[in-house]
Amino acid sequence: CSLPFPPLQPDMYPGNCWAFKGSQGYLVIRLSMKIYPTAFTLEHVPKALSPAGNITSAPRDFAVYGLDDEYQEEGKLLGQYVYDQDGEPLQMFPVMVSLRCKCLSPA
């Protein structure tokens, strides 16, 4: 598919989201090369642009894992985070573990 991967595209218009069904979900991003991530960012439409005046659909508690391939069942926990619904729409979360000894492999 030549279309951009929706969860990785900036789009801050209400309703143009990549939603999970239910209250939990997961996303696997396949990389073309090994990386040493230092931080992750998460962006959600701000309350001011939300038609309902709230962003209760925004992610709250989330974890990021590093996998050697997309079929790996357990990865290395890189951090557990909380998105602040009262904070800035774009929030950065640092990797909470050292990755100097092992990098994430491309899938």
Q: Give the pLDDT confidence score for residue 1 in this predicted structure.
A: 36
List of residues 6+ apart from 63 with CB closer than 8 A: 77, 79, 80, 81
Cβ atoms of residues 76 and 56 within 8 Å:
no
Segment 2-24 mean pLDDT: 67
Query: Domain segments of the chain: what residues?
Result: 39-94
Question: Does the pLDDT value for residue 2 go beyond 50?
Answer: no
List of residues 6+ apart from 39 with CB closer than 8 A: 92, 93, 94, 95
More confident site: 59 or 107:
59
Residue with tokens 């990389």: 31
